[in-house]
Amino acid sequence: MTSRRQVLCGLAMALVAPGAVLAACSTDSDSGGSPSDGAVKPGGVLAKVSDVPVGGGVLVDAGGRKLLLVQPTAGTVNAFDPACPHQGFTVSPPAGGTIVCPGHGSTFDAASGAVTKGPATSGLKQVPVKVSGGNVLAA
C-alpha cells in the first residue's frame, strides 16, 4: 500500500525539479537510520559555551536548521527553535532577559522561552541540548 508520504513526494517530484525534492522525500532508512531533517545528530557540537554570552544568546546553524542558544546564568545553556509561534519570523537573540520577535513585537522570557507579550499565544519551542567539556551539544 502506498503511504501518504510517498504520494505527496511523488506529486512534489512531478511538479518541482527532482534534485530539490529528493532530500525531503528520504526516509530514515535512506540516510542510514538518521533523521533526514538536517538536524545535528545527538552529541554534535553546536557552539562553544564561551560563544554564548551570559545573559544573552546567539543564533547558530544546526545542520541547516537555526537554533537560538541562550545562557541565562553562567554554565546553563538552553536552546529554542527561533521561529516565532505567531507567524514564523526568526526572533532576535535576547537583550536584557527578553527575546523579541521583529515581525510583530511578541516577547519571550530569555531563560524559559515563555511568551511574555503577544500577539504570540505560546512560547518558543525548547530544543534539548547539554553542556560538556566547554561545548554545547545537541542532546
* pTM beyond 0.85: no
Q: What percent of the chain has pLDDT over 70?
A: 71
Is the confidence at residue 3, as pLDDT, over 70?
no
Grid cell listed for 138:
545537541
Place of cell 515563555: 114
- How confident is the model over 68-113, as pLDDT tens digits? 999 999 999 999 999 999 999 999 999 989 999 999 999 999 999 9
Give dist(CA 44, CA 62) in Å, integer: 9
